[in-house]
Amino acid sequence: MQKKVEDMAQSRPEGLTNLGTRHFSHFLAFRLNALCAKLFSEGYSHSPKRLETQGMELEDPQAPSALTESGGTKTQFSSNTNMLFLRSFLAAIPLVGFSTAALTYKGADWSSVPVEEAAGISYKNTAGTTQPFETILKASGANTVRQRIWVNPSDGNYNLDYNIKLAKRAKAAGLNIYLDLHYADSWADPGKQPTPSAWASQGIDDLANTIYDYTLDIANTFASNGIDVALMSIGNEITAGLLWPLGKIANSDGAYNTARLLHSAAWGIKDSNWGTKPLIMIHLDNGWNWDTQKWWYDLILSQGPLVASDYDVQGVSYYPFYNSAATLSSLKSSITNMKATYGKQVQVVETDWPTYCPNPEYAFPSDISSIPFSPEGQTTFMKNLASTISAAGGNGIFYWEPAWIDNANLGSSCGYNLMVDDTGTAMSSLAVFGSI
Instruction: Say which range, 43-57, 314-328, 331-345, has the weakest mean pLDDT.
Output: 43-57
* Alpha-carbon span 12 to 355, nearest angstrom: 11
pLDDT score of 100: 55
- Among the listed residues 12, 16, 19, the one whose alpha carbon sits nearest the alpha carbon of residue 372: 12
Residue 136 has pLDDT above 90, yes or no: yes
Prior bond of 245 cis (ω within 30°):
yes
The confidence score (pLDDT) of residue 16 equals 31
Q: Mean per-residue pLDDT for 419-435?
A: 98
Q: At what angle do helices 204-224 and 254-270 cross, to 10 degrees?
A: 30
| Mean pLDDT, residues 355-370 taken together | 95
401 tagged catalytic = no
pLDDT in tens, 414-426: 999 999 999 999 9
The answer to which of 23-37, 46-60, 73-87 has the lowest mean pLDDT is 46-60
> Residues 350, 361, 376, 401: which is the catalytic one?
350
**Per-chain mean pLDDT for the chain:** 84
Cβ-based burial of 37 (10 A; exposed 0-12, middle 13-18, buried ≥19): exposed
Q: 281-309 pLDDT, tens per residue?
A: 999 999 999 999 999 999 999 999 999 99
Distance from C-alpha of 431 to C-alpha of 53, rounded to nearest angstrom: 37
pLDDT above 90 covers what percent of the chain? Answer: 76
pLDDT at 85: 41
The pLDDT of residue 209 is above 60: yes
Q: How many CB atoms are located within 10 Å of the residue 349 CB?
A: 30
Q: Are 397 and 347 in contact (CB under 8 A)?
A: yes
- Residue 350: active-site member: yes
> How far is residue 335's CA from residue 349's CA, in Å, rounded to a whole number?
13
Whether 127 shows a pLDDT value over 50: the answer reads yes
User: Residues 211-255: pLDDT tens digits?
Assistant: 999 999 999 999 999 999 999 999 999 999 999 999 999 999 999
> What's the pLDDT at 102?
83
Q: Which amino acid is at 386?
A: A
Q: Which domains does the chain have, with CATH numbers?
A: 21-91 (no CATH), 105-435 (3.20.20.80)
Kindly report the CA angle at 406 between 401 and 412, in degrees rounded to 5?
A: 60
What pLDDT does 155 receive?
97
**Three-class SS of the chain:** CHHHHHHHHHCCCCCCCCCCHHHHHHHHHHHHHHHHHHHHHCCECCCCCEEEECCEEEECCCCCCCEEECCCCEECCCCHHHHHHHHHHHHCCCCCCCCCCCCCEEEEECCCHHHHHHCCCCCECCCCCECCHHHHHHHCCCCEEEEEECCCCCCCCCCHHHHHHHHHHHHHCCCEEEEEECCCCCCCECCECECCHHHCCCCHHHHHHHHHHHHHHHHHHHHHCCCCCCEEEECCCCCCECCECCCECCCCCHHHHHHHHHHHHHHHHHCCCCCCCCEEEEEECCCCCHHHHHHHHHHHHCCCCCCHHHCCEEEEECCCCCCCCCCHHHHHHHHHHHHHHHCCEEEEEECCCCCECCCCCCCCCCCCCCCCCCHHHHHHHHHHHHHHHHHCCCCEEEECCCCCHHHCCCCCCCCECCCECCCCEECHHHHHHHHC
CB 398 within 8 A of CB 350: yes
49 phi and psi angles, rounded to 5 deg? -75, -40
Provide the pLDDT confidence category of residue 118 given band limits of 50, 70 and 90: very high
pLDDT category of residue 352 using cuts at 50, 70 and 90: very high
- In the predicted model, is pLDDT for residue 57 greater than 60? no
Q: What percent of the chain has pLDDT over 70?
A: 77
Residues 76-104 as b or e (16 or more Cβ within 10 Å = b): ebeeeebeeebeeebeeeeeebeeeeebb
